[in-house]
Structure 1
């Protein structure tokens, strides 16, 4: 991976449900520093690579960032099914992942894309003690699934889908999501997991399980939540429009919105320094 960070990012793993759960983190050199507050970083239809540009900076501020690959995606083992790829099922898996890492106490969570739906679910349901929530170009309300994801929900479409169809669709989506940060090397890094047939099947299961009712059902509880919330939004996102972020910020208590100009669906690649600073300030407030 080519990103330069303030500290060395490591990939490690733990077992969850008998399978490898892979995650990116930064381990401090001194054992005395390993009790740092944890920040759990969740991806959606991409993988933990979306958090790489900010991980080192977050760790450099005295936090313990953990960017996990959901089961069957990225570098994690296992394989998602239409049942295990739903937002509630993924939230339950994240709670088991946190338990496997022995993470306890108030926890800060950030979610990108569908990972934001999982994060919202964790905030308002039992399973994890979430004290602060950050959403980065997340799905909200009825903003999803995006057309390039929804096209894979139809059984008829799936029957005629080839490896090339999936990879071509993912390349187009990644290129658009990276906006001005799209380079051939970066696109290749994002696409790499989808060369594995198991990951492609898991991703298609996630696409098939994508359903806006999972975020719409959370709205009443989110309106009651007094936990601090931060929205970070690339303004050029054609998938998750900034208007949804504006609505969320106006309706949900204790919510701030940071708009990132000239950034797309993966703004961590367009403005890593600014986004890392915003996350650090929020999670250490």
Structure 2
């Protein structure tokens, strides 16, 4: 499925970020009364990240994958907070608006992992399973590349200047030949190369605030936690997964995926689906 097909399958609801009304685009599949399995992406991605794994959700459960505020096909106008503190509120209101009643399963990557950790720590009774992949936590972030995108000059770049930076982020900078991941790379670049995308990218990058994960009380997280981690990631090393496994109150398991880097969902989709289905089937494959 390419990014245009994914976009065509999305729906939209409105939520509030502080005092700003924003639209949130999302993918929704399965029965509305089924157990909610909610996918949360990171930076600089959007829900298209999950295109090859949402089908791991059993038919009697409900798959929901949202574009965070300021990302993908959600509102990307200027003037509202994109931090994971704000995105935690977006997630909470989104779940309420689409009638996704807990306890839920949260599946999250990168800063989406930070959003999920905050939500699970503040709403432990609402999260049954937590599946985190190469997630920001503690003081593991931001990374230099993302911080640099937060400079005001990013908004003034033209496409020819921005594309090499995105190609580096999604392609040769983090794993082998980007040509092997063309659909992924093109899909991830599309929102940032659209009208208003460069300003949205700069605002998203500047919203990366380490305080929002260093302040968390991780032992408040009671969900069964699976740390499904690309073990070759240099941005969010697997040592952080091991630290999380020690600190959360719920049962926790680190599941390393070999030959997987930061974009673990893209690198090992078949293995990812298998492990996710094991979680959703209560340990059975």
TM-score by length of 1: 0.85
Q: 1:283 aligns with which of 277, 280, 285?
A: 280
49-58 or 179-188, larger mean C-alpha shift: 179-188
Q: Please give the alpha-carbon distance, in whole angstroms, between the structure 2 residues aligned to 1:126 and 1:244.
A: 22
Q: Secondary structure at the match of 2:232?
A: coil
Q: 1:85 aligns with which of 82, 94, 97?
A: 82
Q: Secondary structure at the match of 1:65?
A: strand
Q: Secondary structure at the match of 1:90?
A: helix
2:187 paired with 1:184: no
2:165 paired with 1:169: yes
Match of 1:109 in 2: 106
Match of 1:58 in 2: 57
Contact 2:110 2:133 in 1 (8 A): yes
Q: Secondary structure at the match of 1:133?
A: strand
Q: Secondary structure at the match of 1:173?
A: helix
TM-score by length of 2: 0.85
Match of 1:234 in 2: 230
Report the Cα offset of residue 12 of structure 1.
2.2
Q: 1:22 aligns with which of 19, 25, 30?
A: 25
Q: 1:185–1:102: structure 2 CA closer, same or farther, 3 Å change rule?
A: closer
Q: Secondary structure at the match of 1:24?
A: strand
Match of 1:42 in 2: 40
Q: Please give the alpha-carbon distance, in whole angstroms, between the structure 1 residues aligned to 2:222 and 2:101.
A: 20
Which of structure 1's runs of 4+ aligned residues deviate more than 6 A? Answer: none
Contact 1:95 1:128 in 2 (8 A): no
**Structure 1: runs of 5 or more not aligned:** 4-8, 28-32
Report the Cα offset of residue 149 of structure 1.
0.4
Aligned length: 270
Q: 1:159–1:263: structure 2 CA closer, same or farther, 3 Å change rule?
A: closer
Contact 1:179 1:263 in 2 (8 A): no
Contact 1:71 1:80 in 2 (8 A): no
Contact 1:134 1:232 in 2 (8 A): yes
